[in-house]
Structure 1
């Protein structure tokens, strides 16, 4: 029995889903967000946004800072685990630390869409030119915005089982008392990034207004706990973060963009953010791609004028490729031995120029990307 209908059903209320809804706020379309969680909810994430994201979403940072954590970032400490480190200083604010439980709740409330929270997507079926979700929701269009484990993405990619482009991560975020803050040498304006010696992942520690976030992620790593323990021992030995103050680690996953083709559109349906596998390959950054893909999707949905055939939605796929790059026809194979690539990479990590211009500016901060032009 149909209980509720909408024009656009967005499955997932994170930054991608809420940005898509925000982009549709003046479209005249009835937008509904479905999420299995209730907000505010805990979200595992190192948690920072660049000024480009704040500008794109028209966030008043002074207003946001009054009621939420917003930690300015002007420095970075980077290096190899058990190796040399490099300190990089910027003359301006290049990013802001946020807590995802606050940031996601803020965006969701601001987008003005109707919500059904605390309700998971359990079933989806095509009926004529619409979708029936959970046997009771009727939607003309469905946006998959539920992250790496998005049920819409799984439905759309039932034939794909490869995990080659997936990063597994474990993180802990917790408040520090005064005594713990005195023991912790991580500076609030200076996130610390330490790469594994094989360069297949990196760990981080980030203090934002009394909340410490420590984590480590690796591509294709099945046994992550041992690597995480090596990292936390390193932080303890270096006097950066004493192991005894660390909170409980939790895991999550995301898919890197451009390493493997993924179906992201079909009749009356598309994927955004981590559901589409848009995380930046070199850093795993996912907030900006989620926000931008959500806004691109909103523009395409409006331009379709409620004619949601796959042919009309090809424009969305083309816009993503223009913005983030083309998917390869086959995984790239290097002729340079892995050991030599890793040796060269470790040498580059000690270079001030490479650290600033490539590692930070390009991979982590994406300062080379021009502002997103919407149409």
Structure 2
């Protein structure tokens, strides 16, 4: 049996950031992921400058060898209505490809890695966790997304009664003809809200790569909503007509709707495994990174791995992201005060779409970067 001070299940931004933040802690760390890296990870994929700052990454240097699409504008509307375009002047976010970004974060981590390894079993033996009858640790970290097997240890886990956002999207490299036919601009992501305000769709161009998708707080007729959106975008020339392949589905929890405990004796959840995606936008990269940094700080200071010793992590999450509202059933993005008949008017307002939708809900410019001393 191979012993580690902590084992992280999931090599995405949350797991790799935690290992990176503990790089000089003296702890022996293992990262397990069911896939080999680099791996396909379909995601709209925008990262604000605050995320690069928290990760200690120079965006300019990263962009020399990786896709990095500067974003200066947003085009926002309600489906079936004209869009409003706002120019923010400076670069307010970047488009990245998760295929590259996740691999970059994991590659810079100096920890043991067991990639392309499915977690088949997790057993509790005394005060230690045993994974696949091969590795053991006193502290197990769930960082494997919504369906992380570690999340099952702390309640219902995947498939429970929590309200789940279901999404479908596709990302592909456009041919020269598709590039010429695509009116969507790289520096201007497009966000289109569903008329019932239970989700939104997007068109996001990153150089020659195009990402199209739609997410809703339930999967009822998700494909119908997506097909209608794609037809509308093709008819308006926003995207090329000959889209390749099929759209891939995934799911995640929004922070205010999630009910998963964040920790227990010898176990912690970070990122999407903990259900930390922003409620108004569904973005999960920044919460994943910040939860990992907060977890690292607690792990460094903890004298043991009891729930009591790890509880400061839960308190730090609540302080950073707010207290979760249990058993809420509102729309996943839009507060009550933005409901019809007001919604249509607000979505045509340059002030509202810029100051509220973009800068607050999607970019979180009112929240300073998390710079945790670890």
Change (3 A) 1:363 1:138: same
8 Å contact 1:164–1:220 — kept in the other structure?
A: no
Q: Which runs of 5 or more structure 2 residues have no equivalent in the other structure?
A: none
Q: Which residue of 1 aligns with 2:134?
A: 136
Runs of 4+ in 1 over 6 A off after TM superposition: 337-340
Paired residue for 1:52, among 50, 59, 63? 50
1:266 aligns with 2:264: yes
CA distance in 2, matches of 1:98, 1:291: 15
Q: How many residues align?
A: 370
In the alignment, is residue 149 of structure 1 matched against residue 162 of structure 2?
no
2:220 is aligned with 1:225: no
1:324 maps to 321
The equivalent residue for 2:34 is: 36
The answer as to 2:310 corresponding to 1:313 is yes
C-alpha distance in 1 between matches for 2:211 and 2:266: 39
8 Å CA contact 2:157–2:260 kept in 1: the answer is: no
What CA deviation, in whole Å up to 9, does each residue of 1:106-160 have, x standing for no partner? 0001121210001011111111221111111111211000000000002222378
CA distance in 1 between counterparts of 2:142 and 2:259 reads 17
For residues 1-40 of structure 1, what are the structure 2 equivalents within 5 Å? Answer: 2=1, 4-40=2-38
TM-score for the superposition, normalised by structure 2: 0.95
With the length of structure 1 as denominator, give the TM-score of the two structures. Answer: 0.95
CA–CA distance in structure 2, aligned partners of residues 165 and 342 of structure 1: 22
Q: Contact 2:162–2:259 (CA<8 Å) still a contact in 1?
A: no
Q: CA RMSD in A?
A: 1.8
Equivalent residue of 2:370, what SS? coil
Listed as ranges, the matches of 1:52-71 within 5 Å are 52-71=50-69
Instruction: Give the drift of 1:61.
Output: 1.6
Native 8 Å contact 1:47 1:100 kept in 2: yes
Gapped regions of structure 1 (runs ≥ 5)? none
Partners of 2:338 and 2:196 lie apart in 1 by 10
Structure 1 partner of 2:81:
83
User: Please, which moves more after superposition, 129-138 or 270-279?
Assistant: 129-138
Tell me how far apart the structure 1 counterparts of residues 234 and 140 of structure 2 sit (CA, whole Å): 47
185-194 vs 242-251, which moves further: 242-251
Question: Which whole-Å deviations, capped at 9, do the CAs of 1:281-325 have from their partners, x for residues lacking one?
Answer: 1110000000000111111111113x0000011100000000001
In structure 1, which of residues 312, 331, 352 is the aligned counterpart of residue 350 of structure 2?
Answer: 352
